Amino acid sequence: MSREAFALEIRPDKVTEYVEAHRQVWPEVLEATKRAGMRNFTIFLHNNIAFGYFECDDPVEANAVLAADPDCIRWEDWMAEFLSDRVPADGAPALPEIFRLD
């Protein structure tokens, strides 16, 4: 199992909308995320930095499943409106794990 994390800078004027959107994630996106094999997907927020974490067996395959799903594409296009210009167009890079206690 792979543990994946990422951080996104949210535009300060869009933080409230970003939070509201994630309180009502589209059911089709939730289903696609499950089909992709992602588990324990969590997003935390500090000021305007969103920190995401999920677990999956194959992150490359999981991301490929989401990238091919029309509902996920529409969701990601919508989420791009909330992100800072500093977030790369192809998404946030994975964060390296530096500590773990099992």
For the chain, domain boundaries: 2-80
DSSP 87: S
For residue range 40-68, list pLDDT tens digits in order.
Answer: 999 999 999 999 999 999 999 999 999 99
Q: How confident is the model at residue 90 (pLDDT cuts 50, 70, 90)?
A: confident
pTM for this prediction: 0.89
Per the prediction, the chain carries an average pLDDT of 94
How far apart are the two ends of the chain, measured CA to CA in Å?
14
Average pLDDT over residues 65-85: 95
* CATH topology classification for 2-80: Alpha-Beta Plaits (3.30.70)
For residue range 5-44, list pLDDT tens digits in order.
Answer: 999 999 999 999 999 999 999 999 999 999 999 999 999 9
